[in-house]
Structure 1
Amino acid sequence: MAKSSSALGTPEAAARTSLTTRILAVNIFALAMLAGGFFYLDSYRAQLIDARLEETATQVRLIAEAYAVTPPAGRPQLLSKFGLLTDTRLRVYAYPSPTARAAEVPRSFDSWSVSGPTYQLRDPAQEEWQKRVARFLDRSIDIIVDADHPEHFHEPDHDTLAAWPIALRATRDRNIATSVERAPDRTPMILAAIDVRRPDGSGAVILSTENQRDITRIVRAERLRLGVVLLIVVLVSVSLSLFLARTIVRPLRRLALAAHRVRLGRAREVQVPRLPERRDEIGTLARALSDMSMAIRQRIDATEAFAADVTHELKNPLASLRSAVDSLGIVKDPALQKQLIDVIRDDVGRLDRLITDIAEASRVDAELARARFESVDLGTMIEGLLTTREERGRNGDVRVAFARPHRGTAVVFGDGSRLTRVIENLVENAVSFSPAGGLVQVAATRDGDDVVIRVEDEGPGVPPDAREAIFNRFHSDRPEGEEFGRHSGLGLAIAKAIVEGHNGSIVATDRDNAPNGARFVIRLPAWSR
């Protein structure tokens, strides 16, 4: 069964709607709430009419009381003055006899016959076009707000008591009756009637009619002011919405296009806009995406270079291995066969070391990203490492000295096993370059906010132009006389990757006040509680 949803009520619908449309929709919704002021105006008009009804009822009551105590000869003048003062038309319907029916009660007095008209019912067909437009707006807004629809007011052809339902109601209820009707030009007519008959049935009914044109004028004036304000707010809101959408959507569109080109990979150097002039979240996002794309590009370049280096490094032992294997089936001399077998064994061992180091180099970054760091006392760690090397005889005839720091002074925050690998690679490198009987010195000290580790040897040292290259993968500068293939050239590269993964640095320099030898200096942020 299909499920329906509102236009913007689901994430799928929002995803199909542009950001500009959503910004405009939100702002226009707020404007629609402001437009609800028209409902308030309808309520305001109803309150004005109710107040006028109460005021008219009070006036008619006062007129009736004055009418009752005034001699018959003075009543016409009294009613005409009241009509002039209140802008109303007062009519009197006097009962000719106590038993007379309403249809038989004619109009006995009309204030207009004395004072003249106090209001004028206007013919809509004779008014200017502005008034017609105003009435059209009145009708439209009344339909929107579902306003009440009073009956149409019209003067009866035969002005008798029976022609006025409100007068009949006042007669029936023996009380004041009021009502609102609508003049031809849609202005409200306030009607009020009161029965002033005596208990014997003689007397009259007084009817008051008044055209409250000022109510329509007040409401229209308020509506005009509200409309002007609403129009200004709409223009400002739409302008600000478009400006906001432009400042948000356009840069996001540029970033999305650049990201799409990066994903397609059709251009080697895709420039993601950095938007340096933006100092907001979008500018931060742009620069983050730009940095991310450059990091991805560098990672891809490094991966491609690494793959090319791996291919190159594997070809040499594989070529040697293939040659030895092919020759082994041809050579019949046992001595030569033994030499070929030794070559195969060495090549296999070389491949094994190379593949092991390649695997270590390729996964060091990923493992550092997942590692759980903890406080590591480098003094204790280095001491244990060097003791193990000495016990296994891995230093040969080279002496290794360690200036152990005070406990707790050389503490960093990191992965202990990885940091052990760094020191192991540096010590192994120093031992391999040291002459027979040479001395390798290891030290760990605290320097301000850093822990500094130094590994020095008495070997030939590192030429200044090679101090960056030695940290590249598969760098092949080895000491003279070393058997080929014993090292993969990845030790220092792995050490640098681990150090930088701990927000540290590693450099190669000359030893102080020494004719030869190399010094490797590692700086790591010290751990503080």
Structure 2
Amino acid sequence: MEPVIATPNNSRPPELGTDLTLRWSARLSLTSRILAVNILTIALLAGSLFYLDNYRSRLTEERLEQAEVQTELIGDALVHSSPDYHSVLIERFANRLSARIRIYSPNGEKLSDSFELSDPTYELIDPETQPWRKDAARALDKAIEYVVLSKPISDYQEPENDQTGSWQELKTAASTGKTASSVKYAPDRTPMLIAGTVQAGTNNQILLTLNPRDITRIVRAERGSVIIVMLLAALVSILLSLFLARTIVRPIRRLARAAVRVRLGREPEISIPRMPDRKDEIGQLARALADMSGALRHRIDATEAFAADVSHEIKNPLASLRSALEGLQTVKQPELQNQLLEVASDDVRRIDRLINDISEASRVDAELARTRFEPVDIGQMLDQLLAAREQRDTNAGVKIAFARPARGVAMVMGDDGRLERVFSNILDNAVSFSPDDGLIEILATPDDDEVVIHICDQGPGVASEHRENIFNRFHSDRPAGEVFGRHSGLGLAIAKTIIEGHEGTICVKDKPNGDPGALFEIKLPSASTSPIL
């Protein structure tokens, strides 16, 4: 018979599902969840694109401030130099700054242009003449600026009529008296920096334009590095996620398929893979399911065997009862009728006793699983049990000697009523095998973390080859001379079930010193409570 493992119910376990409910991810597979979590990390890395856009904006602002300062310095230099030397200064400033410098009169006409005095210091590139890689880079720039919600920047165009009225920066500088600047995009989406100021003393207006292509190169280089890192990280993350999902999902699917086969029960022997090489939680789950499946199969087999035994045991008294009732219809002698009625009455009592014991044996496992275990003093319980047996005169003239331990010494965690049933069944068995005026000795002592109870009788004892069988259901070895049918053969089986439900053991041994009789030894885990003084 399979042991029942009963857990002390000192606290009610929390309801399953209250803290394990998955709401937003309830419909996603485990693989999808693993991928989602790892890709989320890549998405966080993609946040560096926001930093790069901010870096580009700050770099552009610094260059604009420099352009404003340079424009003011050019104006001061022209004021403090000879007009004949202005063209040389403008040319030198333009070459040094890689810029285009234009001077306008107060009435808006252009007086001087560095591009007319010397070779241009920069050239606006037509995107149509560039390779496809530049088109892809510009498309990526637009996409990233759209994602990071960059402030829109207008396109740069050279005015057809180059006067002060064509430049918003010069208008702003004239109206505010301060240097004004702005940034626009050249045709190839490189920045164009424009700074305008009013020259002190002459009221001439100076316009400085720059095409710092290095800003775009720096930002694109950094952005490319980030994208490469993101792609590599995404590839590694996806591969690791798939590997992790493979090591988790595949064994779970194997366990699920095996569990389905167990549920369908279409195969005589279904083994759950135990996965002994796995030391992680999945390995623990596999072994737990394998043990559960084995216990379930053992329980089913035991139930089927029990049902067959019940059917066999009930058939005998039913057949005898039917024969007695059929005989009553044909027998006319009163004496024979009384004998048949007595046989029928015995059979009814036997069936009633058998049904009661079967009912007790069938529900003891389930009741133990729901029972709340409490501290039980074995000495006090046995005292009360022996007093009740003495009062009911159920010992049949057999003496019982009990060496009662001190109060609180032999303490166990368990169900008082069930444990009392164990000792009552064993005492009934000992009394039935004891000779007239025999002696039954009971001893309960603590031993480390256990309480050991010995019950000895002076009967014939139990042969070594039968010491396991006597705990089987419907075992029928009875003392000579006992009326057939007085016992159902379930008493010791029920006792073993209860003891194992308390995580204890029960066995039968020879008495010490070779004395005749049987010694039943019961071991129960000791309670953790302190002894009561």
What TM-score, normalized by structure 1, do the two folds share?
0.92
Q: Is the 8 Å Cα contact of residues 166 and 193 (structure 1) preserved in structure 2?
A: yes
Residue among 52, 68, 73 paired with 2:79? 68
Q: Is the alpha carbon distance of 1:73 and 1:312 closer, same or farther for their aligned partners in structure 2, counting shifts above 3 Å?
A: same
Gaps spanning 5+ residues in structure 2: where? 1-20
Question: How far apart are 1:15 and its partner, in Å?
Answer: 3.5
Q: Deviations over 1:337-372 (max 9, x none)?
A: 000110011011111111111111111112222222
Deviations 1:372-402 (A, max 9, x none): 2222222222122222222322122322222
Tell me the residue number matched to 2:211. 211
Aligned to 2:160: 157
* Aligned ranges 1:100-111 → 2 under 5 Å: 100=107, 102=108, 105=109, 107-111=110-114
User: What amino acid does structure 2 have at the position aligned with 1:30?
Assistant: T
Offset of 1:436 from its aligned partner? 2.0
- Counterpart of 2:244 in structure 1 is 244
**SS of structure 1 residue aligned to 2:405:** coil
Q: C-alpha displacement at 1:119, in angstroms? A: 1.4
Contact 1:398 1:434 in 2 (8 A): yes
CA deviation digits over 1:176-198, x for unaligned, max 9? 22111211111011111112264
1:17 CA drift (Å): 2.1
Residues 41-87 of structure 1 show CA distances to partners (whole Å, capped at 9, x for unaligned) of 22211111111111111111111112112121111112222112211
Aligned AA for 2:102?
A: R
Task: Quote the Cα distance in structure 2 between the aligned partners of 1:519 and 1:151.
Answer: 103
Match of 1:414 in 2: 414
Partner SS, residue 379 of structure 1 = helix
Q: Within 5 Å, which residues of 2 pair with 1:25-424?
A: 25-95=36-106, 100=107, 102=108, 105=109, 107-196=110-199, 198=201, 203-424=203-424
Equivalence for 1:4 = none
Distance change in 2, residues 1:506/1:208 (3 Å): same
Q: Higher RCO, 1 or 2 (CA under 8 Å, sep at least 6)?
A: 2
Give 1:495's aligned amino acid.
A
SS in 2 for 1:513: helix
Distance in 1 of aligned mates of 2:392 and 2:100: 125
Letter of the aligned partner of 1:403 in structure 2? A
Secondary structure of 1:329's partner?
helix
| Bigger mean CA offset, 301-310 vs 383-392 | 383-392
SS of the residue 2:376 aligns to? strand
Q: Tell me how far 1:299 sits from its aligned partner.
A: 1.1
Q: Aligned in 2, Cα 1:477/1:136: closer, same or farther, shift over 3 Å? A: same
Native 8 Å contact 2:79 2:200 kept in 1 = no
Give the AA of the match of 1:187. Answer: T
Contact 1:53-1:178 within 8 A present in 2 as well: yes
Q: 1:219: how far off?
A: 0.6
Change (3 A) 1:69 1:527: same
Partner of 1:501: 501
Cα distance in 2 between the residues matched to 1:452 and 1:29: 60
Q: Counterparts of 1:265 and 1:147 in 2: how far apart (Å)?
A: 64
Q: CA deviation at 1:447?
A: 2.2
Aligned-partner Cα distance in 2 for 1:399–1:165: 122
1:456 alignment partner in structure 2: 456
CA contact under 8 A between 1:197 and 1:205: conserved in structure 2?
A: no
1:405, distance to aligned residue in structure 2 (A):
2.3
SS of alignment partner, residue 522 of structure 1: strand
Give the C-alpha shift of residue 303 in structure 1.
0.9
Displacement of 1:226 after TM fit?
0.6
* Map of 1:6 onto structure 2: none
Cα deviation for residue 443 of structure 1 reads 1.6
Q: CA 1:527 to 1:146, structure 2 compared with 1: closer, same or farther past 3 Å?
A: closer
- Could you tell me which residue of structure 1 aligns to residue 491 of structure 2? 491
| Residue type at the aligned position of 2:322 | R
SS of corresponding position for 1:509: strand
- Cα deviation for residue 515 of structure 1 reads 5.1
User: Residue type matched to 1:381 in 2?
Assistant: M
Once residues 112 and 27 of structure 2 are traced to their aligned partners in structure 1, the CA distance between those partners, rounded to angstroms, is: 74
Does the CA-based 8 Å contact 1:89-1:209 persist in structure 2?
Answer: yes
Cα contact 1:90–1:206 (8 A) shared by 2: yes
Partners in 1 of 2:514 and 2:392 — Cα distance?
30
Distance in structure 2 (CA, Å) of the matches to 1:409 and 1:140: 81
**Which residue identity is paired with 2:432?**
S
Give the TM-score, by structure 2 length. Answer: 0.92
Task: Tell me the alpha carbon deviations over residues 208-227 of structure 1, each in whole angstroms, 9 at most, x when there is no partner.
Answer: 11101111011101101111
CA separation in 2, counterparts of 1:323 and 1:458? 39
Cα deviation for residue 13 of structure 1 reads 6.5
SS of match in other structure, 1:437: coil
Counterpart-to-counterpart distance in 2, 1:163 and 1:411: 103
Q: Deviations over 1:294-323 (max 9, x none)?
A: 111111111111111111100000010011
Equivalent residue for 1:527? Answer: 527
Q: Which moved more, 1:455-464 or 1:377-386?
A: 377-386
SS in 1 for 2:513: coil
Q: CA deviation at 1:12?
A: 6.8
Equivalence for 1:5: none
- State the SS of the aligned residue for 2:520: strand
Q: 1:136-195 deviations in whole A, cap 9, x for unaligned?
A: 222222233333332322333343333333333333433322111211111011111112
Residue 3 of structure 1 corresponds to which residue in structure 2?
none
**How many angstroms does 1:276 deviate by?**
1.4
Deviation at 1:280? 1.6
- Equivalent residue letter for 1:290: A
Q: Which amino acid aligns with 1:442?
A: I
